[in-house]
Amino acid sequence: MTQYALLIDNEYCTGCHSCEVACKNERDLPLGQWGIKVLELGPWKLPDNKHWEHRYVPVLSQLCNLCYERTHDDHGSATPACALHCLANVIEYGTLDELAAKMANKGKMASIFIP
């Protein structure tokens, strides 16, 4: 059976939080609960004393069901709400095989989530 997943490229995430709101609306989650949450890493200076570590890192919670209703409708091809509304286009839905191939070039700057 084909395994689907989300790839989030946090190198270019702007920390806009649109994904959080889109998920909350899509899943009708109660106050204080999130399917995706954007965490902040840094800022701190790297040992080369020139560059900084400062990234926004979106993380899926246990409440994420990979938008089951959207992705398993009659057509089976709808995009998850968070990916559809990401302003920087850094959330990608696809098969684990496709996403793993893309992840190979990203090092620590991306994450794959398999709900």
What's the per-residue H, E or C state across the chain? CCCEEEEEECCCCCCCCHHHHHHHHHHCCCCCCCCEEEEEEEEEECCCCCCEEEEEEEEECCCCCCCHHHHCCCCCCCCCHHHHHCCCCCEEEEEHHHHHHHHCCCHHHEEEECC
Site map for ligand SF4, 45-64, x if CB under 6 A?
Answer: -----------x-x-x---x
**Binding-residue total with ligand SF4 (CB under 6 A):** 30
Which residue from 7, 66, 99, 110 is in contact with ligand SF4, where contact means CB under 6 A? 66
- Is position 15 an interface residue for ligand SF4 (rule: CB under 6 A)? yes
Looking at the Cβ atoms of 63 and 100, the one nearer to ligand SF4 is 63
- Is position 81 an interface residue for ligand SF4 (rule: CB under 6 A)? yes
- Is position 99 an interface residue for ligand SF4 (rule: CB under 6 A)? no
